[in-house]
Amino acid sequence: MLCRMIYLDYNATTPLIKEVKAEMEPFLDLYFGNPSSPHAYGMTSKQALEAARRRIADSIACHPDEIIFTSGGTEANNLAIIGVTSARRNYGNRIITSSIEHPSVIETAKYIEKHGIAAVILEPDHTGRIEPSKIKDAITPRTILVSIQIANNEIGTIQPIAEIAEICRQKKVLLHADAVQALGKINVSVAELGVDLLTISSHKVYGPKGVGALYLRKGIDIDSLLHGGGQEDKRRAGTENVSGIVGFGKACEIAVSNLKENSEKFLALRDRFEELIITGGIEARINGNPFHRLPNTSSISFKGISSERLIRKLSNELAISAASACSTCNPDEWRSSHVLEALKVSKDWSLGTIRISVGVPTSQSEVETAAQLIENYLNTEIFK
């Protein structure tokens, strides 16, 4: 059944591509040594680990020593926020973030508030953009960190990170950027962006799950979340996932080398899908910034429609996401996503929101078929 489905949920996760799998396989059995061991098995794994570190560093234009391997984007975001606020308590007790961040940022902000750190939550405009001036006005002498995502996972809105970075630099405040959804879709260069910390994740760029990384600019102190061995220059204890990191390195290398070609393809497919939906005769609205949006992401709302029902009805043919979270089986208790609430999208629109995100394997015929399936369902619902 799965092989016949159309998969348009690449912002959720991506498949492991064959080149990555081939690179990983020797480190799943033949080269199984612990990279901290001093013998030949260990040294082989250590060499592969450092080669992958160089590949990943090259993909975001930083030095390999500035890469810390983690178990994924969530851990990297936690390490950035908790690690910096712990290490810099003598400098202040205040961070700034936004209401549309990934839960791993929002929930971590709530956590550090329980430990004496104030979290200032900024609201975006109606397209999901955070105005740099808002951040400038929110910074005080006690502010030690700003954490803003590069691109939103639900609506695709891209933030003016370079402008925010310049403000943070002038105010002598560290800037952390979550680039999990951006890498492989738009250019991500820490040198050009001017950020101090940056989060990336393997499974969003056709690599294995369970691997991520935090870029930490040289000279910045951070307290470790995990304690034990001295791995990752004593910044993240625990034996590294060598096979996963090797795969991550290869995935990053491919993603960056194919960036221009892929982003152009994504944009054409996304625009074709939106064109078919908008001209299909059903009232719809596109969420996000019309000029600053990920090329592969489309968040579309239908008034008075249940996106959860739509997704369930088409679940054997089409894999897409909803922008509403259902905690019960009662439709009256569905709630809008925190992102759409921040954009002040009314409930009659937000509960009918779907997200499609195209990827490298996506074809034009797939997005056209997907649009037709959605249109057919909506016509049935509206005119039944």
**Taking a C-beta distance cutoff of 8 angstroms, is the pair 49, 240 a contact?**
yes
Query: Does residue 326 have an active-site annotation?
Result: yes
**pLDDT tens, 106-130?**
999 999 999 999 999 999 999 999 9
Decide if pLDDT at 135 tops 50: yes
269: burial class by Cβ within 10 Å (0-12, 13-18, 19+)? buried
Mean residue pLDDT of the chain comes to: 95
Tens digit of each residue's pLDDT (9 = 90 or more) over 333-382: 567 799 999 999 999 999 999 999 999 999 999 999 999 999 999 998 76
The whole model's pTM is what?
0.94
Percentage of the chain lying above the pLDDT 70 cut: 95
Examine the pLDDT at 61 and tell me if it is beyond 60.
Answer: yes
pLDDT band at 332 (very low <50, low <70, confident <90, very high): low
Per-residue confidence (pLDDT) for residue 4, from 0 to 100? 77
At 363 the pLDDT is 98
Confidence of residue 190 (pLDDT cuts 50, 70, 90): very high
* 331: exposed, middle or buried (Cβ count in 10 Å: 0-12, 13-18, 19+): exposed
The most confident of the ranges 43-52, 226-235, 322-331 is 43-52
- Reported as a pLDDT band with limits 50, 70 and 90, residue 329 is very low
25-29, 142-146, 290-294, 380-384: least confidently modelled range = 380-384
The one catalytic residue in 168, 252, 326, 329 is 326
Mean pLDDT of 138-162: 98
Is the pLDDT reported for residue 267 higher than 90? yes
Kindly tell me if the per-residue pLDDT of 92 is higher than 90. yes
Q: Is the pLDDT of residue 383 over 90?
A: no
- Average pLDDT value for residue range 259-287: 96
Which CATH number does the domain 2-13+259-383 belong to among 2.60.120.260, 3.90.1150.10, 1.10.1740.10, 3.40.50.2300? 3.90.1150.10
pLDDT for the residue 322: 87
- Asked if the model's pLDDT at residue 2 lies above 90, the reply is no
Enumerate the CATH 3.40.640.10 domain ranges in the chain, comma separated.
18-257
CATH topology of domain 18-257: Aspartate Aminotransferase; domain 2 (3.40.640)
Question: How large is the average pLDDT for residues 69-88?
Answer: 98
Residue linked to tokens 């719809």: 284
